[in-house]
């Protein structure tokens, strides 16, 4: 259920990024509301990853702004936040799921500690409770709890990705960024992961921005979609509408390129 009150959670205004003379993305604007999932689709070089990094304050825009509504209701320009504030936001209110789970995990530290780290970072000091919360999340992302003391270096790719998700969701974030969350996984593993993401996002009323080149992932997870090509937003709107009734030539090309099951 989407919270349809009138206040956007994240607002992008004319976001533009140039890398020297190379265009990352140009003039992207949208509002994202609590509980909404938006897919950003495009092929390699479309600028979708640049956009995700701009939105999550990992890159500074060349032009435009990103505004985020803090828990106290005030809309803040990410560029105006100090580094401490941004990092705090990243650890509590936001999640970021990398395509490559080793980038989003501490591989040499146990799975339980990976999940508990954010809690410890915000001041949890009771070992039993931290471990309990970690176990809880292991159940939710369907990792056997007897693996809780094993480091993710010993996990399969799918398990690592699920651990990454647990690690990000443990602090009850309101907005999750995902960069090709199922990229590089076997098809059956992908299906399981997508289902898990879908369930968690719905249950926790998360807002999410998911970058993917896979339209099936977009269709399954998102309410809204932005189609990117060469740094620009070619078409955007309701996911089922854009994918069923594509208007732009590029979108029609993308949709028709999917091999039927």
For residue 178, the cross-strand partners are 97, 210
The answer to whether the CB of 239 falls within 8 A of the CB of 39 is yes
Question: Which uninterrupted H or E stretch holds 32?
Answer: strand 22-32
- Kindly tell me which of 20 and 261 has the beta carbon lying closer to other proteins: 261
Q: What's the closest the beta carbon of residue 146 comes to other proteins, in angstroms?
A: 12
Instruction: Return the closest-CA partner of residue 147 out of 125, 119, 166.
Output: 166
Question: Which pair of structure tokens corresponds to residue 86?
Answer: 């941004």
* Nearer residue to other proteins within complex by CB, 63 or 136: 136
Q: What's the rounded Cα separation, in Å, for the pair 111 and 153?
A: 9
Please choose, from the candidates 63, 94, 36, 8, the residue with its C-alpha nearest in 3D space to the C-alpha of residue 231.
Answer: 63
Least gap, CB of 71 to other proteins (angstroms)? 19
Crossing angle of helices 127-140/157-169, nearest 10°? 130
Nearest distance from C-beta of residue 83 to other proteins, angstroms: 7
Angle between helices 111-121 and 83-92 (to 10 degrees): 130
* Between 17 and 28, CB nearer to other proteins: 28
Work out how close the CB of 22 gets to other proteins at its nearest, in angstroms, rounded to a whole number.
26
Distance CA 39, CA 131 (A): 34
Nearest approach in angstroms of CB 131 to other proteins is 7
What tokens appear for 133 in the block? 């919360």
- 79 versus 121: smaller Cβ distance to other proteins: 121
User: Please, which residues bridge with residue 23 across strands?
Assistant: 18
Determine contact, residues 177/96, Cβ cutoff 8 Å: yes
- Residue 24 or 56 with smaller CB distance to other proteins: 56
Measured from the CB atom, is 17 or 174 closer to other proteins?
174
Q: Which residues bind other proteins (CB under 8 A)?
A: 1-2, 4, 31, 33, 36, 83-84, 87, 91, 106, 109-110, 112-113, 116-122, 125-128, 130-131, 148-149, 191-192, 195, 198, 202-203, 220, 223-224, 237-238, 240-241, 244-245, 247-249, 252-253, 256
Q: Provide the minimum distance between the beta carbon of 170 and other proteins in the complex, in angstroms, as a whole number.
A: 12
């Amino acid at each position: 259920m989407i919270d349809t009150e009138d206040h956007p959670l994240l607002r992008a205004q004319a976001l533009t990024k140039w890398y020297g003379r190379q265009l990352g993305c140009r003039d992207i604007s949208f509002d994202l509301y609590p509980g909404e999932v938006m897919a950003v689709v495009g092929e390699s070089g479309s600028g979708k990853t640049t956009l995700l990094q701009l939105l999550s304050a990992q890159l500074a825009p060349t032009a435009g702004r990103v505004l985020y509504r803090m828990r106290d209701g005030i809309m803040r320009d990410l560029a105006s936040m100090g580094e401490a504030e941004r990092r705090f936001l990243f650890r509590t209110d936001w999640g970021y799921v990398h395509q490559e789970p080793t980038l989003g995990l501490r591989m040499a530290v146990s799975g339980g500690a990976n999940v508990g780290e954010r809690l410890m970072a915000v001041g949890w000091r009771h070992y039993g409770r931290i471990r309990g919360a970690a176990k809880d999340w292991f159940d939710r992302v369907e990792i056997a709890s007897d693996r809780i003391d094993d480091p993710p270096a010993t996990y399969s790719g799918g398990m690592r990705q699920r651990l990454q998700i647990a690690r990000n969701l443990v602090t009850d974030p309101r907005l999750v960024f995902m960069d090709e969350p199922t990229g590089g996984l076997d098809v059956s593993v992908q299906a399981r992961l997508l289902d898990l993401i879908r369930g968690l996002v719905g249950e926790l009323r998360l807002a999410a921005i998911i970058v993917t080149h896979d339209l099936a992932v977009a269709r399954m997870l998102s309410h809204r979609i932005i189609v990117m090509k060469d740094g620009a937003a070619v078409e955007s709107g309701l996911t089922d509408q854009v994918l069923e009734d594509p208007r732009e030539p590029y979108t029609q090309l993308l949709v028709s390129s999917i091999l039927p099951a």
